[in-house]
Amino acid sequence: MLYVQVLVNGLLLGGLYACIAAGFSLVWGVLNVINILHGSFVVLGAYLAFFAYTALGIHPYLFAPIAALVLFGLGYAIQYTVVNRVIEAPVLVTMTATFGLALLLDNIMLVAFKADFRKINLVPPLGVVDVGKLVPGLNVVVPVDRLASMLFALLFVALLYLLLRRTAVGRAIVAVRMDRYAATLMGVDPTVIFALTFGIGAALAGAAGALLSPIFPISPLAATSYLGKAFVTCVLGGLGSVSGVLVGGLLLGVLESFGAIFLGPEHALTLSFSVLIIFLLFRPSGLMGKRGFV
Amino acid sequence: MRRALLLGGLAVLALALAALPFMSGNYLVRLATIAFMYVVLASSWNIIGGLAGYPSFASAAFFGLGAYGSAIVRAHAALPLAWCAGALTASLFALLIGPAILRLRGHYFAVASLVLAPVLRELVNGATDLTGGGMGLTLPGSTALSVDATARLYYAVMLAAAVGTVLFTILILSSRLGWALRCIEQNEDASTVLGVNTLTAKVAAFVASAAPAGLAGAIYATWIGYIDPTDVFDDLLSVKPIVMAFLGGVGTIAGPVFGAAIFVALEELVWRNVLNFHAGILGIIIVCLLVFIPGGLGSFRHAAARVRALASKQTNGTARVRSAA
Amino acid sequence: MRFLRPRVGAMLRSQPHRRRMLALALAALGLFLASHVQAENSAIRIGAPLPLTGALSPEGLKLQQGYELWKDVVNAAGGINVGGTKRLVEIVYYDYQSATPKAVQLAEKLATDDKVDFMFSPFGSGATKAASTVSERYGIPTIAPTASSAEVYDQGYKNLFGTFTDNSTLSEPMTDIAKAKAPKVQRIAILARNDLYPLALGQEFEKSGKKRGFEIVYFGKYAINTLDHASALTEIKGANPDWIVATGYINDMILIRKQMADLGAKAQVVTMINAPAYQEFIDATGPLAENVTSATWWHPAEHYQSKDAFGSTEHYTELFQNKFKSLPDFTNATGSASGVVLQMAIEKAGSTDRAKVREALAAGGFDTFFGPLSFNAAGQATSYVPPVFQIQRGKAVVIYPDAIKAGDLQLGVQ
């Protein structure tokens, strides 16, 4: 029964990881930019949700789309004004540039919000579902807030999928991802598409932050942890696919959960990074990797 | 004429560096020692990152391994032996892991090298018997020397390490390996056609990059006298050398040296004048640097032109096609 | 192929702007030296490297509040009485960005460049230990406000004096109370952060528990930056403990408490150290904070009458609230206590001579609002009993020692 609970824990955690990683994967896949800012975007989304809840009483799940909208604006602006200028440069340059931006944003948040850890306490709390009561003999509990956050995150990822598949903008993004030169010839302006993509990536991060605000403590210091999870999730699942993010996140969550049981909690992180290196070596495209981000 | 100027300049610099520890307080000596440490890190990164063009974030891993290697050996052996042990530990690690991760390119290599330090940090944290885990390791201090003498000793040792690393880079650059690395940097697939054994060359560069970084970690450990995993496997130790190399000019010999010196001075300046927003300002400096002077300060003229171009009109850098990483 | 080989000389010469770079470097150096001039004054200068940014910034800011309050009170009274003449206090702060090497570097800067008379250690056991080599080398009496692990003081240094008693003084009374007030408690589960101080504390609880015949049913370590404790807590739940002990920093404790509730991991006694001493923990966990026990080196509910600048714990708390509009916690208080103990040592020595102040510190016998402070031969405080408290109805209520207790141990958590 322990293992069933651990599996459930892992899947729920994995859902949250997918939620954190979706925007990161999109930006990496389409722009070929490793966005170190991503973790800070998630934290900013969480802060916005925190203040919306404590000051205005807006539920973080309702606030998630608003956080997404705000972060979209910020992301679009950052890409248009800064990142677009170095987008043609090698990996290191774009990565270091976003690292510099992350230093800046983290420091701004540190000064503005202080580093004290905060968290949203939903009143009333969402509680837990005791599966044992529904299915006799199956003694497993499921925390409702994690489940709800995961489902909402899936909703956002599904929306992203539809956006990419069904709209002109989405098709333009996919086109740029597949062949930038050809897309330019077809009349697509990559500069705008890049900014849109970066904005959507930031929006997903903002929504994720809002959804996670009742679950994880909020602080600028959490940014690097989120970024690390996004990294591993993307590599495990494969870049450039919505399903890859989901599979990667779930795989990572389950791996960490069982790793903590068999190797001890102190080695969960080591395990996930080791698996990441193994994946890079033997299956660099990840489990579901393909071009085009759909 | 230029050669004479260069030699004269070098002579003056050498004289100034030799005089510094006797002319100033211990803090300035310490700051200079740190600058030398970063010269070692930036120059050694330059071997794999600049010459071969492989985006490595492994400096922190090498540095930390060097620190722990020397700290463990130092318990039983003299200082120079401990330093060698540090360099050796890092090189061996590079030799083992290099052939695996150097098959990867671009982003994938960057990510693989980036996670080395966190993995090692956790492993070192877990190996309590050998490393003291989270308790860290305290190294025996050199009680025989006075405060000033210790400061000067480490100044001299770190300076020697920096000069050694620069000479080592020159040596590599003028060797067949240097040529092979340049080929790889230009076009890895084509260099195979030219008869370059790319994997061997890359591993050699990786090891050559690891040894000085490990040495820096080793000297650092004996200098500070206390290390713990979060300090010596700090991710910033991977990022800063890259920024320094960019600041001075990637792939050149003098670039990382000047970059490190300027970066340390800038950091000190910002940090002194802004009590709790220095990280933010550092971020702004990094971004401006990359946006306006991507070739480093060595390419200052282009930067001025670029600033003018930006001021007059939005850049439209979309027509060019970048080869996929 | 030889013609492809680049010549080094050519590479060196291929940088026509070297001179410009040199000029820039020199300009930066000049600016840096210019900002270097320092004013002479007769104030007593104390160096304080603090983590004002980075991972430890919440604690760094709290310590700074503690220092500032002490400084303000002393300077308002005209300064420290040094053998009849009053001298003002000046604290030189530097931010070491939560990076230990930088803390050591700054300690050296304070010692040589700023020529401070005395020093306060950086935050936490690890950084204190690393920086203590500097103050020892320069012979600067240094007060360590936040180092509790005995390993910090085992180097035979003469200049380090810590206000925190050993980690075991937190685990021992707590285990006593559990033994006395919760007779059904038999099985302990311990989850400790794999980091210098929290791990040492976890091990102290293990020792204290075993000594009293408790059964340790689980001992787990979690890595720094762990985002999920579900597996460990699921195992703990399966081990069916009566007492769950978790150690770490405030973010870890918030997450662990939340996930305990998520997974239904309950116990009659839940102890978390040190987070519940901070109001932020109670705010962030809400009703889940209820009945969590903790131990800490100081609590505003104490009432020491003192011969220091503050007069009593109550007065200290009042002054702190007036200045910062919040209740002081143990980190604020130990900052102020470090100042107080240094001041009393200077006044006792009647001089700012380092050797005399060091002697006065070693002699001990300081009655402070923080408690009576005396140090053992290694330099760590041994002279007071840290209180144990429990969160009851959203407030921290002291349950030990008996002299100041305001309530009794309540069993069970949500």
Size of interface A-C (CB pairs under 8 A): 118
> How far is C-alpha A265 from the chain's CA centre?
23
Dihedral pair phi/psi, residue C20, rounded to 5°: -65, -40
Minimal Cβ distance to A280: which of B112, B125, B243: B112
Question: Do residues C173 and C287 share a domain?
Answer: yes
Size of interface A-B (CB pairs under 8 A): 139
Q: Which of A32, A87, A99, A279 to mutate to test the interface with B (most CBs of B within 10 A)?
A: A99
Q: B23 or C140, which is more confident?
A: C140
| Amino acid occupying residue C294 | S
Residues in chain B: 325
Cβ contact, residue pair A231, B283, below 8 Å: no
Q: What is the mean pLDDT of residues A49-58?
A: 94
Q: C271 or B148, which is more confident?
A: C271
* B2, closest residue in chain C (CA to CA): C13
3-state helix, strand, coil in chain C (%, to 5): 45, 20, 35
Residues of A in contact with B60 (CB under 8 A): none
By DSSP bridging, strand C243-247 and strand C269-273 are parallel
Q: Quick one: angle between helices C57-76 and C330-349, nearest 10?
A: 40
Q: Which two tokens stand for residue B315?
A: 């850049």
Question: Do residues C174 and C276 share a domain?
Answer: yes
Cβ contact, residue pair B277, A101, below 8 Å: no
Give domain status of residue C400, yes or no: yes
Within 8 A by CB and 6+ apart from B14, the residues are none
Least confident residue range of A125-134, A195-204, C72-81, C164-173: A125-134
Size of interface B-C (CB pairs under 8 A): 148
- Is the backbone of residue C411 left (phi > 0), alpha (psi -120 to 50) or beta? beta
Cβ contact, residue pair B265, C32, below 8 Å: yes
Q: What is the pLDDT of residue C12?
A: 40
The neighbours of chain A, by the rule of 3 or more Cβ pairs under 8 Å, are B, C
Angle value at C-alpha A124, between A123 and A130, nearest 5 degrees = 140
By DSSP bridging, strand C366-368 and strand C371-373 are antiparallel
Q: Which of residues 12-41 of B touch A (CB under 8 A)?
A: none
Residues of C in contact with A208 (CB under 8 A): none
Residue B171 has pLDDT above 90, yes or no: yes
In 10 A of CB C13, how many CB atoms?
13
Minimal Cβ distance to B280: which of A107, A190, A267: A107
* A114, closest residue in chain B (CA to CA): B276
* A268, closest residue in chain B (CA to CA): B122
How many helices and strands (H and E) does chain C possess?
13, 16
Instruction: Give how far A236 is from chain B: nearest CA, Å.
Output: 12
Cβ contact, residue pair C5, B178, below 8 Å: yes
CA distance C178 to C46: 42
Q: Which two tokens stand for residue C93?
A: 């702060």
Give domain status of residue C48, yes or no: yes
Give domain status of residue C281, yes or no: yes
Cβ contact, residue pair C17, B266, below 8 Å: no
Q: What is the dihedral angle through the alpha carbons of C356, C358, C363, C364, rounded to the nearest 10 degrees?
A: 120
Instruction: Give how far C366 is from chain A: nearest CA, Å.
Output: 33
Query: pLDDT by residue (tens digit) across B225-237?
Result: 888 888 899 888 9
Cβ contact, residue pair A261, C231, below 8 Å: yes
Query: pLDDT by residue (tens digit) across B257-298?
Result: 999 998 899 888 887 777 778 888 888 988 888 888 766 666
CA distance C121 to C132: 7
Whether B6 contacts chain A with CB within 8 A: no
Question: Do residues C259 and C397 share a domain?
Answer: yes
Residue C326: Cβ-neighbour burial (10 angstroms; 0-12, 13-18, 19+): exposed
CA distance B215 to C101: 17
Q: What is the mean pLDDT of residues A206-227?
A: 92
Q: Which two tokens stand for residue C144?
A: 């360590």
Q: B308 or A208, which is more confident?
A: A208
CA distance A26 to A19: 12
> What's the pTM value of the predicted model, to 2 decimals?
0.85
Q: What is the pLDDT of residue C340?
A: 95
Q: What is the pLDDT of residue B300?
A: 52
CA distance B292 to C39: 39
Cβ contact, residue pair C226, A269, below 8 Å: yes
CA distance C89 to C94: 16
Give domain status of residue C80, yes or no: yes
Q: Which residue reads 């989850």 in tokens?
A: C191
Sheet harboring C187-193: ordered strands across? C215-222, C187-193, C243-247, C269-273, C292-295, C388-392, C395-400
Question: Do residues C147 and C110 share a domain?
Answer: yes
Question: Do residues C286 and C186 share a domain?
Answer: yes
Cβ contact, residue pair B279, C194, below 8 Å: no
Q: B46 or B146, which is more confident?
A: B46
Q: Which residues of B62-99 are buried (b: 16+ CB within 10 A; e: fewer)?
A: bbbbbbbbbbbbbeeeebeebbbbbbbbbbbbbeebbe
Q: What is the pLDDT of residue B1?
A: 64
Q: What is the pLDDT of residue C53?
A: 84
Q: B322 or C383, which is more confident?
A: C383
Q: Which residue reads 């270097």 in tokens?
A: C36
Give B73's pLDDT tier (boundaries 50, 70, 90).
very high
CA distance C32 to B270: 9
Cβ contact, residue pair A118, C283, below 8 Å: yes
Nearest CA among C358, C412, C357 for reference residue C390: C412
CA distance A205 to A116: 21
Give domain status of residue C4, yes or no: no
The neighbours of chain C, by the rule of 3 or more Cβ pairs under 8 Å, are A, B
Cβ contact, residue pair B112, A100, below 8 Å: no
Three-class SS state of C262 = helix
Residue A184 vs residues A28, A82, A181, A259, C148: alpha-carbon distances, Å:
20, 21, 5, 47, 64
Residues of B in contact with A89 (CB under 8 A): 290, 294
Q: What is the pLDDT of residue B315?
A: 39
Question: Do residues C285 and C306 share a domain?
Answer: no
CA distance B45 to B57: 9
Question: Do residues C124 and C259 share a domain?
Answer: no
* B277, closest residue in chain A (CA to CA): A107
Cβ contact, residue pair A277, B290, below 8 Å: no
Q: What is the pLDDT of residue C13?
A: 40
Parent domain of C243: 168-296+387-404
CA distance C191 to C222: 7
Walk along chain C (414 residues) and give the pLDDT tens digit of each residue: 333 334 444 444 444 455 555 555 555 555 554 444 333 348 999 999 999 888 888 889 999 999 999 999 999 999 999 988 999 999 999 999 888 878 988 898 899 888 999 999 999 888 898 899 889 989 999 999 999 988 889 888 999 999 999 999 999 999 999 999 998 999 999 999 988 789 889 999 999 999 999 999 999 999 888 889 999 999 999 999 999 999 998 889 999 999 999 998 989 999 999 889 888 899 999 999 999 999 999 988 888 889 899 999 999 999 999 999 989 999 999 999 999 999 999 999 999 999 999 999 999 999 999 999 999 999 999 999 899 999 999 988 999 888 888 889 999 887
Minimal Cβ distance to A93: which of B100, B235, B294: B294
Cβ contact, residue pair B253, C32, below 8 Å: no
Residues of C in contact with A13 (CB under 8 A): 228, 230
Q: What is the pLDDT of residue C27?
A: 54
Within 8 A by CB and 6+ apart from C94, the residues are C47, C48, C49, C50, C106, C109, C110
CA distance C112 to A263: 48
Question: Do residues C264 and C184 share a domain?
Answer: yes
Q: A280 or B70, which is more confident?
A: B70
Q: What is the pLDDT of residue B148?
A: 79
Beta bridge partners of residue A143, listed in sequence order? A128
Residue A45 has pLDDT above 90, yes or no: yes
**B224 near C101, Cβ under 8 Å?**
yes
DSSP code at position C410 = P
Question: Do residues C84 and C175 share a domain?
Answer: no
Whether B266 contacts chain A with CB within 8 A: no
DSSP code at position B137 = E
Beta bridge partners of residue A128, listed in sequence order? A143
Residue C337: Cβ-neighbour burial (10 angstroms; 0-12, 13-18, 19+): buried
Three-class SS state of C215 = strand
Q: Which two tokens stand for residue A122?
A: 């939903």
Dihedral pair phi/psi, residue A36, rounded to 5°: -65, -20
Quote the percentage of chain A above a pLDDT of 70: 96
Where along chain B do its domains lie?
22-234
Whether C220 contacts chain A with CB within 8 A: yes
Residue A176 has pLDDT above 90, yes or no: no
Q: What is the pLDDT of residue C11?
A: 41
CA distance A292 to A277: 24
Instruction: Give how far B304 is from chain A: nearest CA, Å.
Output: 15
- Rg of chain B, C-alpha, whole Å: 20
In 10 A of CB C211, how many CB atoms?
11
Question: Do residues C187 and C49 share a domain?
Answer: no
The number of folded domains in chain C is: 2
Question: Do residues C185 and C230 share a domain?
Answer: yes
Residue A39 has pLDDT above 50, yes or no: yes
Question: Do residues C392 and C306 share a domain?
Answer: no
- C114: Cα within 13 Å, side-chain hemisphere: 26
Q: What is the pLDDT of residue B151?
A: 85
Give me the CATH number covering residue C80: 3.40.50.2300
Q: What is the pLDDT of residue C15?
A: 46
Sign, CA torsion B199/B200/B202/B206: positive
- Is the backbone of residue C311 left (phi > 0), alpha (psi -120 to 50) or beta? left
Sign, CA torsion A228/A232/A235/A237: negative
